[in-house]
Structures are given as structure tokens and as C-alpha cells.
A and B are shown apart, each in its own frame.
Chain A
Amino acid sequence: MSETLKIPTMAELHAQGLAPEVLFWVGCAGSFDDRAKKITKALVKILNKAKVDFAVLGTEESCTGDPAKRAGNEFLFQMQAVTNIEVMNGYSVKKIVTACPHCFNTLKNEYPDLGGQYEVVHHTQFLKQLLDEGRLSIEGGKFKGKRITFHDPCYLGRANDIYEAPRDLIQKLDAELVEMKNCRKKGLCCGAGGAQMFKDAEPGNKEINIERTEQAMEVKPEIIAAACPFCNTMMTDGVKNKAEGQIQVSDVAELIANADDL
């Protein structure tokens, strides 16, 4: 299938004197993590289908610096930011879409001060826009009546007050959206943020992702929908531990691509 995917790079378009409507910021997880790469591809399939004029930076993309900043290394963060901004400003980037809430937050909120001013949207917002503009349609059939619960990523929800876009998309699947006891503003973290993804947890009596998985299991979903590659990893691990084979963890983009047999 991959040979049919159209994934132009900014450099290629630039060489032809073109500039795309939107830059797809893939992110480190989306580029390298085996699970997250599937999300990247699902999103590309949808973008292709909706005929969105996009491009990626490819080898010119580098970590936004989010985990370094949250770990306390402001130097490294700003070095990364300045490098990325130079590349993006070189291509006169106007709009960015990304499937990673951490990249989203950093690009949207922390880059402007350093000279990187773009319109940044999370992929759930972007897909919602496409839907509203009639550029994308979602087939509900496959998920009709399935119990889906949505895990709010901290960096999408509390950090940036985006709660409805992913939920609206799930509802378009004709699925039964069920809410965990901690949702929206009160959503419980998956345990990966603030650079925790890259280290062992401090001593305690439980892993955070297990706690969150148990909350999800309480509402008996068939699918836990995520909207962040790191949440996805954490919840997948949690499910492996607690409910192997009973619950599926999918990104909202994967659900939509899947519904359309993309």
C-alpha cells in the first residue's frame, strides 16, 4: 500500500517553486517509534484521501526540544527551537499540523517568542476542520455501537483546552463514546509527560499508566482512543498488563483511516 502514499518533502516542493498549504510535523515518535509510525501513516492516508496539499520536513526535521525543556535543559531546548525555526522560516511555513500534542504545544506556545510564528493545529483539530469544510467524510459503519473511551492527553486538554475536537471525530464514527471518571479538565495523565517517558518512575506503589488503564477498564470500552503517540504507548502497555486482548488502543486518526478501509 505504501507505494501509493504521497509524502512530498518541503525540499522537493521548494525545488519546484511550490509551497504546500500545511506542513505535517511528524515528530520523533511519529518518525521512529514502531507503534507511532502507524499513526503517522494513518494520518497521511487521510490527508491523501482528502487531497490535502501538505509536505513533511523529512531529514530536516529535528526534535522540538520538548522533553529537554521539561527535564530542565533550557539550553538544549532553545538550540533545538532556533534550529527548527530557521529551517521552517526558510520555507516560509505558515501552518503546521502535528499528531503529537507535545510537539503541538511547544510549536504553538513556546516557539513564537523565539521567532517561530505559525498557525499550529493538532491533527484532531485539523481533521475536524476538514470535516466541517466538507473535504473529508467519515464512514461510521465499522464502529457502529462500539464502546470507545477517549483518553485526554494532558498537552492537548489541560495544557491547551482542546477537549471537543477528538470527541466530535469519535462521535462521527457512530460509536458509543463513554467517559472515564476522570475526563476532560480532570483527565488523569498517562504518566509519560514531563520527560517521564524517557526514565523509570520514581519509587511509588503503582505505575501511573496502570492506574489510568484501570480507570478505562471501569467503563468497559472495546477501544481506548488516544490522540498522542506517548499516551498510546503508555495505554498499550497498561492494557497488555491488565486486559490483554480485550481492549484495543488506537489513535483517533487510525480509527478514521480504518473506518474508511484506507
Chain B
Amino acid sequence: MAFLPNIIFGLILVGGIGFFVRNINKLKRNIKLGQSVKIDGATGQRWSNMARIALGQSKMVTRPISGILHVIVYVGFIIINIEVLEIILDGLLGTHRIFSSIGPLYGVLIGTFEVLAVLVFLAVVVFWMRRNVVRLKRFLSPEMKGWPKQDGNLILYFEIVLMALFIIMNATDAPFQAMNSGNVVSQFVAPWFDGLPLAAIERTAWWLHIIGILFFLNYLYYSKHLHILLAFPNTFYGRLTPNGQLDNLESVTNEVKLMMDPDADPYAMPDGSTQDPEKFGASDVFDLNRIQLLNAYTCTECGRCTSECPANQTGKKLSPRKIMMDTRDRLQEVGQNIDANKGNYVPDGKQLLWDYISPEELWACTSCNACVEACPISINPLSIILEMRRFLVMEQSAAPTELNTMMTNIENNGAPWPYNQMDRLNWKND
């Protein structure tokens, strides 16, 4: 049974990746519950946005401390994962450090990984302190109680453990230490294990490391850490038009044309007339578009948006981060509903509006775009807020009274105040 470890390894690997693929498929299915969107604009611009914002982290560094620490963890994490490739090959083939045959370069590589591991370790410790000791305000908002807070910390513990396992694995690997090349950090850790069963510890660390990585991969779906994958498509699909430009609802354009056209037959049904009348705006996740749903899954809950939000800063209930978290939570709920009902959504009497997001939050927004500007990965909370306002106003006639007055004025006088349009040039003679 010499191949038993290889077989077990293979099974764990296939299981871990299989489960991950299953989750990704669910994620895709859930996003597709949203309305489809036309993706226009230059594709080249989209690729370059993705390269700049997701890969290059250009918006992270606007806050230097967290930005630089984040770059360390990000770069460290990606590069150290080259090591995982070796682990997988070793595991499947039963080899030991298969890449070491490439010669001195191997030492350079592993040495780099070790240094990065230490840097990641330190950065993560600082991150943990910011959340739990310094207690930065943006990590303490009401929406960060419970799971979101735990999630933030769990990930940090996780990375600490993974980095520690990597160093221990190297430190207890007698042949590797004997090579004395690349063990820039682990050589100092090795003496701690003198007199202990090195081989057994090395194997344990090795197995835990790869199992840990697979676990992490599958943890993503339940965590704000989905952003490490979704930041890429999300920045790709980010808006190319000016922030101030809101879309013009096409369904409304058609109706307005009919209303303004004196020859139109008011009783004529538009094409496809058997369909239900179109719903204006959004009250649930189904009414949002797919990019907005992708936004929700991508949100890292960093709170940069909320900390820049003028409404939130002045004590209003609105928090753009909460808008994104609520959207994701509701979408997950709908997804689980579909899983539980053999692929069909069975109405549960809940909606994103009211059950998650209250009108009070929506009406506090000044549409200032500070949240959009602040988001490091091109998420647009304002677009969801506007979509829900549209539902409140056009489907429910549920605008605050003063806004109804304002709109009546525009309708009757062509101005938000009760002045006569015929007086519009009176300022000339004042």
C-alpha cells in the first residue's frame, strides 16, 4: 500500500476542488437571478481597469497604512501559493520537493517565500490589532456585529496558521535544512524542534498546510474574502461612464414616447403584450441587475464607503456597506431557498426592501458618490439605493411628503418650487 498517501491526497484534492466548483456554480446561478445588463464601452478600457484596480491595487493605497499592509498580504499570498503547486505535485507523485531539482534558483524561490511569509504574518498581526485593539471606527458599525466581525478575524487567524505551518514545515524538513539554501527564516526556527520527531512534524505541517489551503478555498464562498477572486470580474465590469450619470430606464422611455406622441393609441399594448407590466425599480434581488449582485458578492466589508458617507458621518442610519451586505445576505437566502426547493424559488414573503433595507436608509442618501469613489474595487452602492427609490416612488408612491410636493411642483410649474414658469425670466428686472 505504498500508494495510499498519494491516493488519499488525490481524494482530498479532488474533494476540495470539487466542492469549490460546486459553490462557484451556485454563485453564478445566484448572480444570474438578476436582470441582464448590456456591457458597452471599450473592452480595452475594461481590461486596463482590471489590471490597474484589482491587480495593481491602485485604489487601496489612497489609505497608505492599510493599503501597503494589504499589498504585502496580497502579494505574499499569491506568490507563496506557487509553493502549493509543488505540494500538489509532491502529493500526487509521491516525490519530495520536486522543484528542488531546478538548482540554486530553488533556494532563491523558497527564501523569498519565507521572507514573504514573515511579512504576511506581521501585516496580519497589525490588521488584527486594528480590528481588536485599536478598534477603528469603521470596523465597529452596527452591521459589523456577529458573523461579519468573526469572519474578519477568522481569516486573519487562518492566515497566521497557514504562514506558521509553512515555516514549520521548512524548519523540520531535515534534508531541506541540510541543503542550507533558501532557509533564510526557517534556519532560526529549526533549533526550536531539536530532539523532537522531525519527520512526523514535517509531514503533519505539510498535510495541514495543503488541507488548510483547500479549506480556505471553500471558506471563501461564505466569507467577505470572495473578493480575492471576484475583484477581478468586478473591476472589469465597473462603470466606464461618469459617476454622475444615472441610467435612463428604457421601459420608461418607451412609455414617455407613447404619452408624448399625439398619434399613439393609448390602448395599444407594446410588443409582447401578454407579459406582465414591467416593474419599475427594485424591491428584491431579482430586480437588481447582475453587476449589482456581483458587486454584493465582491464587497469586502472594509467600510471605506461608509466612512466617507456624509449621511453616515452625521449619524443617519444609512451605511453604503450595509446596503451591499444586505443585498448579499438576501441573495444567499434566496439561493438557499432554491436549493431547498429542488431548484425553484418558493416565495418566502420577504424582500430586500423593508426586511433588510429600510426606506429611512434610502432617503438619507445625497447621491454624492463618495461611496463609489471610496470603494477600492469599483462597487456602486448608490446604484442600488437609486433602484430602490425608484420602486418606492414609481410603484408605491411612497416618497416623503416634501418630495411629493417638489415633484408636483415640477409637474405643474416646471420648477421644484411653486413659482410660475411664466415668471422664469423675472430675475432680469429684479
A157–B427 CA distance with the chains assembled, in angstroms: 28
Q: Is the CB of A67 within 8 A of B416?
A: yes
Asked if residues B425 and A186 are in contact (CB atoms below 8 Å), the reply is no
Q: Quick one: which of A62-100 are within 8 Å of B by CB? A: 62-63, 65, 67-82
Is B101 in contact with chain A by the CB < 8 A criterion?
no
* B256 & A82 in contact (Cβ 8 Å cutoff): yes
Do A2 and B429 touch (CB < 8 A)?
Answer: yes
Q: Which one, A131-139, A166-174, A187-195, is touching chain B? A: A187-195
How many whole Å from B112's CB to the nearest CB in chain A? 36
Find out whether the CB atom of B367 lies under 8 angstroms from the CB atom of A193: yes
B2 lies within 8 A of chain A by Cβ: no
Closest beta carbon of chain B to A69's beta carbon, Å: 6
Q: B427 and A40: CB pair below 8 A?
A: yes
Bound complex: CA of A203 vs CA of B388, how far in Å?
Answer: 20
Across the interface, which residues of A come within 8 angstroms of B266, CB to CB?
none
8 Å CB interface, B364-381 against A: 364-370, 372-373
Nearest CB of chain B from residue A40's CB, rounded to whole Å: 6
CB < 8 Å neighbour of B244 from A7, A72, A81, A105: A105
CB pair B366 A63 closer than 8 Å: no
Complex Cα distance, B351 from A67, in Å, reads 27
| B406 lies within 8 A of A67 (CB) | yes
Knowing A109-B244, A198-B416 touch, does A159 contact B424 (C-beta < 8 A)? Answer: no
Q: How far is the CB of B329 from chain A (nearest CB, A)?
A: 22
Fill in one digit per residue for B175-216: 1 if any A CB lies within 8 Å of its CB, else 0.
000000000000000000000000000000000000000000
Interchain CB contact under 8 A, A72 and B366: no
Q: A38: shortest Cβ distance to chain B, in Å?
A: 9
User: Are A80 and B414 touching (Cβ within 8 A)?
Assistant: yes
Are B411 and A194 in touch, CB under 8 angstroms?
no
User: Using an 8 Å CB-CB cutoff, how does the interface string of B207-249 with A read, 1 for contact, 0 for none?
Assistant: 0000000000000000000000000000000000111111011
- The 8 Å CB contact of B256, one of A32, A79, A194, is A79
Binds B, one of A140-148, A204-212, A245-253: A204-212
Does A41 have its Cβ within 8 Å of any Cβ on chain B? Answer: yes
Whether, in the assembled complex, B130 has its beta carbon less than 8 Å from a beta carbon of chain A, the answer is: no
Contacts of B118 in A (CB 8 A): none
Q: How far is the CA of A186 from the CA of B422 in the complex (A)?
A: 40
Q: Does A262 contact B (CB under 8 A)?
A: no
A40 neighbours in B (Cβ, 8 Å): 427
**Once bound together, how far apart are the Cα atoms of A195 and B281, in whole Å?**
17
Is A78 a contact of B252 with CB atoms below 8 Å?
yes
Stretch of A14-22, A53-61, A217-225, A236-244 with 4 or more beta carbons under 8 angstroms from chain B: A53-61
Query: Which of chain B's residues has its CB closest to A71's CB?
Result: B403
Given A59-B422, A63-B414, A202-B363 in contact, is the A78-B256 Cβ separation under 8 Å?
Answer: yes
Question: Please, which residues of chain A bring their CB within 8 A of the CB of B388?
Answer: 72
- Min Cβ gap B76→A in Å is 29
Q: Is B393 in the interface zone, CB < 8 Å from A? A: yes
User: Across the interface, do A75 and B252 meet the contact criterion of CB distance under 8 Å?
Assistant: yes
Given A32-B417, A62-B421, residue A74 in contact with residue B249 (CB < 8 A): yes
Which A-chain residue is minimally distant from B361 (CB atoms)?
Answer: A202
Q: Is B400 an interface residue (CB 8 A)?
A: yes
Q: Which of A37, A62, A74, A79 has the most CB of B within 10 A?
A: A74
**Are the CB atoms of A82 and B260 closer together than 8 Å?**
yes
A255 to B327, CA, bound (A): 46
**Minimal Cβ-Cβ distance residue in B for A56:** B425
Report if A159-B366 is in contact (Cβ < 8 Å); known contacts: A72-B393, A72-B399: no
Nearest CB on A from B220, distance (A): 31
Does residue A200 face the partner (Cβ distance < 8 Å to B)?
A: yes
What are 21 A-B pairs at a CB distance below 8 A? A32-B423, A32-B424, A37-B427, A58-B424, A59-B422, A68-B407, A71-B407, A72-B392, A75-B252, A78-B248, A78-B253, A80-B414, A158-B244, A159-B369, A160-B243, A185-B373, A186-B308, A193-B366, A199-B402, A202-B360, A206-B314
- Please give the residue numbers on chain A whose beta carbons come within 8 Å of chain B beta carbons, in ascending order: 2, 5, 7, 9, 26, 28, 30-33, 37, 40-41, 56, 58-59, 61-63, 65, 67-82, 105, 108-110, 113-114, 154-155, 158-161, 185-186, 188-189, 191-208, 211-212
Further contacts, 15 of them, CB under 8 A, given A9-B425, A74-B248, A202-B318? A28-B414, A31-B425, A32-B424, A62-B415, A63-B416, A72-B392, A105-B245, A110-B248, A160-B244, A198-B403, A198-B405, A199-B402, A203-B317, A204-B311, A208-B310
